[in-house]
Structure 1
Amino acid sequence: MTTTALQQEWLALQAQHERYEALTLAVKLAAVAVCVVVPDSVLALGLIALLWLQEGVLKTFQGRLGDRLLVVEAGVKAGAAALPMQLHSDWLLGRPRGAGLLAQYLKSALRPTVALPYPLLMALTVAC
């Protein structure tokens, strides 16, 4: 029974993990739209920075799901050695507070796969 629960949890987590990937792509596209559509470069820079940070938050959330996916996969591989449906309980045990949480968001925002388009869009905004 536990293996089936872990398998169902994996399916749900994987679907959400992929959904976060689509959301972060939408954030990147919104940043491109801001660069093209917003005529005030100061406002555009602020909005692009905000979208960059928002993507960092989304990637942090996605990372938490990825961490749980790895636990679930190990549980399935070991024949249900992991308890199912412990995403929030496990996260709460190591949840950072205040500055630690902000540091997580910033670390995610500075990952190359997240950060790559934003400085370029900001430079384009200033140049145009």
Structure 2
Amino acid sequence: MTAGAAEKLEAEWLALQANHEQYERAALGVKLLAVALCALAFGLRWLWVLMLILWVQEAIFKTFQARLGARLLRVEALLREGQAGPDQALQLHSEWLVSRPRGAALLGEYALSALRPTVAFPYPLLALLVGFF
């Protein structure tokens, strides 16, 4: 592969990665919009609950940061150990794909992910609030 082609692929990877993370932030924005709509529906008397929800949402942001942090640590280790070859760069998603299950196991993983607090929150709480009032 020529140096020019490698640079173009690197630029594409960086753009795709930025868009990938942008979708993650947009999904969190949708959750925050759901919280805001719930606040409008119930008024300020539920402000303490909404503040708790936002606190947990901040924890979700930190979870995203930790996911990227794991790859940053791997990249730093590769650089420190002098193993930073072309086959090691830009491998964030490739490393994940190698460990990705297939078929029913993949569907099970999706179901478990949907039940994780960082994914499910705040929807069950908002549903309870709406259902009881």
- Coarse TM-score class (shorter-chain normalised): 0.3 to 0.5
TM-score w.r.t. length of structure 1: 0.48
Could you say which structure has the greater relative contact order, defined with CA pairs below 8 angstroms and 6 or more residues apart?
Answer: 1
TM-score w.r.t. length of structure 2: 0.46
